[in-house]
Structure 1
Amino acid sequence: MLVVIGLLGAVTVMSRDVCTADCPAAQTKIASAIPPTPAPAATDISPRDGAREVDPLGPVTVTATAGRLTAVTMVNEAGVSVPGVMTPDDTVWKPTVPLGYGRFYTLTVTAEGTDGRPATHNSSFSTLTPRNQTKAYLTTTAGTPIREGGSYGIGMVVVAHFDEPIVDRAAAERRLKVKTWPPVQGSWYWLDDQNAHWRPQRYFAAGTEVTASANIYGAPLGGGLYGQEDSTVTFTIGDAHVSVADDTTKQVSVYENGVLVRTMPTSMGMGGTETIGGQTISFWTQPGVYSVLDKANPVIMDSSTYGLPINSRLGYRETIKYATRISTDGIYLHQLDSTVWAQGNTNVSHGCLNLNAENAKWFYEFSQPGDIVEVRNTGGEPLEVWQNGDWSVPWDRWLAGSALS
């Protein structure tokens, strides 16, 4: 009985592995053993043949829907080749560079089907021609290009200056980027239709690396205007220079990385106004947070450039040494020997901050674009953003100046 039972058990176990041709496993094995039917090559090319007004940043792809790609060439109307890349399985090809505006492109595609036979297809299309284009220049608030690899002060403001008025500010701002290391919070503020300014909420930390980009190529910016080309620049933030000009003491206190390094007597704006030809000219040094724009030695200062005739009671034209400019309308810290008697006790200037020769030279050599100069306790109207008063704008109002707010 024991032997019989064992044999029956063995028979039962063996029967579980038996499968006829009708079971699913057998059908799968049979199907996999049958080679696929050879098929001719088939491709899909986008954009379609004959397409016009194609976005130069739009997708251009060649796909083998049957078989594989063996060669793809793309040339413009001048016969210049467009480089591209193929996927490892030879089924998809794409160009690796942006296309140009107003160009005519021809694709020649060679593919091989699973039947082993080659096939060649040609396709052509043209890209759009903008009615107008604009370039974005990445500059300081002085309007000078930001130097690649340059060093700037902790109050550095990035300006994207467009050479055409922007209709769709939001579309343009989406293409403007500022990346920092370490990361800081910042935002764009549109001064007008051609100038967007970017700054962080607080002064940069010394040593911060900043990369600004205007990735506008191919972007529609409203009213038929398109971006002409991309721009990018990287710079670093130097030592923290903050100068505080206090009209109460009539001293300029200069700090480097939080340490007081120099105190300079000064004579600031005499105050008051004068109206000439319907224009009111102020002689105050306006209170606010300025930043260093640039410097020159010497610079010719001419009162007629802001409406005050040279031959008028307060007019002047002088050659001035060691002049460090902090406002777009002509406020400088500069040498003026004739007011040394007043420096530290009396305001007699037209608005500039007068210094003696030694202090003016030292400050000139010490300063870099983007350094902060705070003017406190003076009269007159507060500094405006267009005068280089970006840092005088409260953060909530700065955020409201973004087209994406």
Structure 2
Amino acid sequence: MTEVHKRKTMKILGVVAICAAVAAGGIGVATAPSWAEPAFQSESSAPVRNEPGLASPVVKAVELGVTPTDRAAGVNPAVAPSVKAVNGTVKDVVLATADGGEPVKGTLSPDGSTWTALDPLEFNAAYEYAFTIVDQAGRETKKNQTFTTVATANEADAAVYPQNGSTVGSGQPIEIVFSEPVLNKEAMEKAVTVTSSSGQAVAWRWYSDQRVRIRPEAFWASGSQVTVDLKLFGVDFGNKMVGNMDAKVSFKVGPQRVAIVDDVTKTMKVYFDGQLVKTAPVTLGDAEWLSPTGYAVIMEQERHSKFNAGSIGLKPGDKGYYPPLTVEYANRLTSSGVYVHQALESAWSSVGKVNVSHGCVGLLPADAAWFFNNMKTGDVVQTLNTGAPPVEPLEGYGDWNIPWAQYAKR
């Protein structure tokens, strides 16, 4: 073999050895002699590489985080959907119901890495996500995902009394009735905010998993404005029930009107903002039908109200039974039928002297008309010295008969 031929053969073998080293993942190109042409292109000049190779990757892989996850079911509509790309950006995000609804509005972070929905979702809806992810080399990847939200059967809401825009008496507790049982009561108390222009602190009293009352330590301040702000949308009630509403209820408080009825003196004294404005004789419940003591709140007023002895468990032939009748100037104090009203004509001679009613507070016609026209729902009637126990809280609004230190105890 000639010397020239031998040198050519050695060059070919050297190139083959370098190629073998590259194929094996070696670093032969970096140390190849100058005559090894053409040289293998450096990774630093090839920014589209993002897989391990001869050197550390220049383009990092995009890490993607999507909320809710793909094919998630029972998603809380209050959870703000989002698409987040680490080592990349997000664009062309479209989130809409599968039935072709309007796309959900969203916002993109300044660096383009995160898209977040601004609008709340619908209940009982299937959603489709479509978005594009762009890596640091500018390459685009389109993605599609789906999820469904909480079903209609798992929606929960609430009703509030007093009603928005109403004016009530200073003794009116706030009552919230939830459509579904509330298992996490502490979370619910944080979701509902009660404020008053008088700055009065309030306490919650849960009478069941669905019914709660809220009141201040003393009667609402005269002329104050009270607002109940319910942020229930997305709140977990428990048992997979989720709040579907936000609402704000605001009501005004009238003057502090309190009527104090004393069985010892057989009189009623009415105070407006602490000033005595009326004194009237009364007749109360007889020995078998004692009028309840303590605080009660006027629940409703009827100029003419139909009374039926059957509503208090009496039937014809029973002692104390009376046929159906209509009473004048009726102001309900309890759901079981205790009222302040005009006494029947047959009882007028007993007013101020003897108790002859079935537990109601009876007034003479002129006094009954005055009471009806000047007292309002939410005003307070306090009855003293009858020997009967106080009005039960749920027999009307007997919440004021529970000491403040005990009121908030569950």
Structure 1 length as normaliser, TM-score?
A: 0.78
2:403 corresponds to 1:394: yes
Find the counterpart in structure 1 of residue 254 from structure 2. Answer: 238
**Alignment CA distance shift 1:171-1:40 (3 Å):** closer
**Alignment CA distance shift 1:222-1:45 (3 Å):** closer
Structure 1, residues 57-116: CA drift from partner, whole Å, max 9, x if none?
234212354565454321012222223333455443322233233322112224666666
Find the counterpart in structure 1 of residue 125 from structure 2. Answer: 103
Q: Is the 8 A contact 1:300 1:318 kept in 2?
A: yes
Find the counterpart in structure 2 of residue 330 from structure 1. Answer: 337
Find the counterpart in structure 2 of residue 137 from structure 1. Answer: 159
Find the counterpart in structure 2 of residue 367 from structure 1. Answer: 375
Which residue of 302, 306, 315 maps to 1:309? 315
Where in structure 2 are there 5+ consecutive unaligned residues? 1-46, 49-58
Q: Using the alignment, how far apart are the partners of 1:195 and 1:171 within structure 2?
A: 15
Structure 1, residues 263-286: CA drift from partner, whole Å, max 9, x if none?
1211111122xxxxxxxxxx1111
Q: Is the 8 A contact 1:138 1:232 kept in 2?
A: no
Q: Using the alignment, how far apart are the partners of 1:366 and 1:310 within structure 2?
A: 36
Q: Using the alignment, how far apart are the partners of 2:307 and 2:330 within structure 1?
A: 10
Q: Using the alignment, how far apart are the partners of 1:179 and 1:379 within structure 2?
A: 37
2:147 corresponds to 1:125: yes
Deviation at 1:49, TM superposition (A): 2.6
Larger radius of gyration: 2
Q: Using the alignment, how far apart are the partners of 2:304 and 2:108 within structure 1?
A: 60
Where in structure 1 are there 5+ consecutive unaligned residues? 1-36, 140-145, 273-282
Find the counterpart in structure 1 of residue 295 from structure 2. Answer: 289
**Root mean square deviation of aligned Cα:** 2.9
Letter in 2 for 1:198: I
**Alignment CA distance shift 1:351-1:305 (3 Å):** same
**Alignment CA distance shift 1:45-1:163 (3 Å):** closer
Structure 1, residues 292-326: CA drift from partner, whole Å, max 9, x if none?
11111211011101201145331122111211111
Structure 1 counterpart SS, 2:351? coil
Percent identity, aligned pairs only, is: 29
Letter in 1 for 2:278: R
Q: Is the 8 A contact 2:230 2:248 kept in 1?
A: yes
Alignment size in residue pairs: 352
Find the counterpart in structure 1 of residue 15 from structure 2. Answer: none
Letter in 2 for 1:383: V
Q: Larger relative contact order (C-alpha < 8 A, sep ≥ 6)?
A: 1
Find the counterpart in structure 2 of residue 57 from structure 1. Answer: 78
Structure 1 counterpart SS, 2:372? helix
**Alignment CA distance shift 1:297-1:89 (3 Å):** farther
Structure 1, residues 140-196: CA drift from partner, whole Å, max 9, x if none?
xxxxxx221211111110111123444454454443332222322211111223211
Find the counterpart in structure 2 of residue 15 from structure 1. Answer: none
Q: Is the 8 A contact 2:79 2:234 kept in 1?
A: no
Q: Is the 8 A contact 1:322 1:335 kept in 2?
A: yes
Q: Using the alignment, how far apart are the partners of 1:114 and 1:394 within structure 2?
A: 67
Structure 1, residues 361-396: CA drift from partner, whole Å, max 9, x if none?
221122222111111111222222222211011112
Find the counterpart in structure 1 of residue 328 from structure 2. Answer: 321
Structure 2 length as normaliser, TM-score?
A: 0.77
Deviation at 1:52, TM superposition (A): 3.0
Q: Is the 8 A contact 2:96 2:127 kept in 1?
A: yes
Q: Using the alignment, how far apart are the partners of 1:287 and 1:119 within structure 2?
A: 75
